[in-house]
Amino acid sequence: MLPIKSALSDWKIKKDLLFFKDQIYVPNDMELQRSVVCAIHETPGVGHPGQWNTLEQVQRDFWWPGMAKFVKGFIDGCVPCQQLKINTHPTWTPIQLLKPVKDLFPFQVCTMDLIMDLPECNRMDSILVVVDHSSMKGVIFTLCTKKADTTKIAELLIQHVYRHFGLQVRIISDRDPRFTAEVFQEVGRQLSIKHSMSTAFHPQIDGEMERVNQGIKVYLQIFCLKEQIRWKKYLLLAEFAHNNRTHSVLKKSPFFMMMGYHPRAFPTAFERTSIPSVEERLQELKSVWEETMSLLELARQQMI
């Protein structure tokens, strides 16, 4: 007997697995359901996200009645998540969202910050954080040292941002000397990059950078709790986890908005067989971008 009222066409059997609307149906077995949620929630490629993002990631492949309530109970009982909750109510006043620019490509406008004084690992003690301020909201985390000069910072941008996404139109940074030094300004002028300065008291534009910084610190605390010097090993996984999570405002992940699909964070029991054509993929991406721009503008208007 089917567990809910639904059309028979919603259910299919593929390779001994029961699917409900392209999601694997998980029977009413609490241990099995818990193992599914646990495997997804705790894998480094997902990285202990909160209740909403855990549910969203589980729903990409699985379904059972009452799963939202089940996931909430699981997260409420997750010790690392409860001990290291991110503060979603900062005390500083957020700056107005940047007005979205139509047809802006990923990382053409980005913010930068440094997370410094981490436990030294292979002579590295800092992270250069780059956050995309187009409609994609992706991030790039790069190994760095707090002694890095302006030339080194520029090299890191070329190695990790420029080679994937091309030249930035605008870079927004705080007033760290590395970002305001004459050498870095000259590099920007030679490459026709406009370098903007955020305010002295609120270097994290609209809170996006602050949330990213909080998120990476919590991620590394969870996975490097017993051996803090291992943070370097998990840095790229932290970047992957962030870019594969659904954005709370845009309702899509940065990966999905850039590529039109979610890369696999872990192996699954089945293969996706429905591969869209190039035309279908392009049309889907166009629809995603148009919807994203509308959501960004709506969010910006609500803050005015």
| Residue range(s) defining the domain that contains residue 195 | 109-243
What is the distance between the alpha carbons of residues 129 and 67, in angstroms, rounded to a whole number? 35
Contacts (Cβ under 8 Å, ≥6 apart) of 218: 48, 84, 86
pLDDT digit string, tens, across residues 225-260? 878 888 999 999 999 999 999 887 777 889 988 888
Contact, 256 vs 262, CB < 8 A? yes
Residues 73 and 167 both lie in one domain: no
Sign of CA dihedral 84, 88, 92, 97: positive
What is the distance between the alpha carbons of residues 118 and 231, in angstroms, rounded to a whole number? 8
Contact, 171 vs 148, CB < 8 A? no
Q: Is the pLDDT of residue 100 over 90?
A: no
pLDDT digit string, tens, across residues 41-80? 999 999 998 899 999 999 999 999 999 999 999 999 998 8
What is the distance between the alpha carbons of residues 118 and 238, in angstroms, rounded to a whole number? 15
Residues 262 and 232 both lie in one domain: no
For residue 125, what is the domain's CATH number? 3.30.420.10
**Which residues sit opposite 124 in a β-bridge?**
121
Residue 102 belongs to some domain of the structure: no
Contacts (Cβ under 8 Å, ≥6 apart) of 277: none
Q: What one-character-per-residue DSSP string does 281-302 give?
A: HHHHHHHHHHHHHHHHHHHHHH
Instruction: Identify the pLDDT of residue 201.
Output: 38
Contact, 121 vs 100, CB < 8 A? no
Name the DSSP class of 54.
Answer: H
Q: Is the pLDDT of residue 96 over 50?
A: no
What is the distance between the alpha carbons of residues 126 and 132, in angstroms, rounded to a whole number? 20
Residues 137 and 215 both lie in one domain: yes
What is the distance between the alpha carbons of residues 236 and 144, in angstroms, rounded to a whole number? 13
For residue 58, what is the domain's CATH number? 1.10.340.70
Q: Which pTM does this prediction carry?
A: 0.77
Residues 132 and 79 both lie in one domain: no
Mean pLDDT of 133-161: 88
* Token reading at 263: 């890369």
Residues 21 and 141 both lie in one domain: no
